[in-house]
Structure 1
Amino acid sequence: TISTDPVHQRVVDACRTFPEMVAGPERMTTLFMKRYPGLFMKSGAESIMVASVPDGRSFAYKVNDGGMRPRLPLSVAGLKLLGINAHDELERVYGGDQIVGSVRATF
C-alpha cells in the first residue's frame, strides 16, 4: 500500500498532478496517469513497475530479463486488478490487415 506519511503524499500528489515530470511526455506511465486520474505509476530500471490508486491498492512487477515487450500487457492486467479497464491500450499484432496474435499477461 502507499505510504500515509504527509511528505510522501506530497510527492505522490505532485507526480499525479504533473505526470510528464515523472517519466517524460510520451512514456507509458505518463499517458496512463493522464488518462486515469488518481493513478500513480512509476517505472524503474530492468522493467520494474509500481502503480497505486488513492485508496492504497497497488501492484508491482519485475520482468526477469528486463525486456520491455511485456510491460504494456502486464500493466493493463495490473490496472484491471485495481478496477481500471485499460484494455484499449493494448497493441494489436497485425499480419496484413488482420489481427494475427497478441501478447497477454496472467496474474
Structure 2
Amino acid sequence: MKRNYLPLSVLALALGAVFIGVSEAHAANEDFVSTLVREFYNKTSTWEPTLKRYALVVFRWLVILEVCFLGIKAALNRDQVADIFKQFVMLLLMAGFFLAVINYYQEWA
C-alpha cells in the first residue's frame, strides 16, 4: 500500500511559515504588550471621571438604603441601643472601605 505524504508535508510547511512569521513579528514588535496596555489605558482614562461619578451616586444611595434598613430592622426587633450602635459602626466601617476602593482603585490595581 502506497502512502501519500503530500498533505502532511503541506501541513508541515504551513506550520513552519506560521512560526517563522510569528518569530519575525515578535522580533519587530518586542514591546507589543506594553504598547497595547498603554493604548488601553489612554482610551479608558477618558471614561474614568464619568464612571467614578456614577459609582459614587450608586454608592451613596445604597448606603442610605442600608441605614434605612438598619433603622427598620432595629425598630422591629426592638434591639438595645448598644446593638444598634454596634451595627451602625460596622456599617460605617464597611462603607468607608468601599468608598476608599472606589476612590483609590486605580492606585491599588
Q: Which has the higher contact order (CA 8 A, sep 6+)?
A: 2
Give 1 or 2: higher helix fraction. Answer: 2
TM-score, normalised by the number of residues in structure 1? 0.23
Give 1 or 2: higher strand fraction. Answer: 1
**Larger Rg: 1 or 2?**
2
TM-score, normalised by the number of residues in structure 2? 0.23
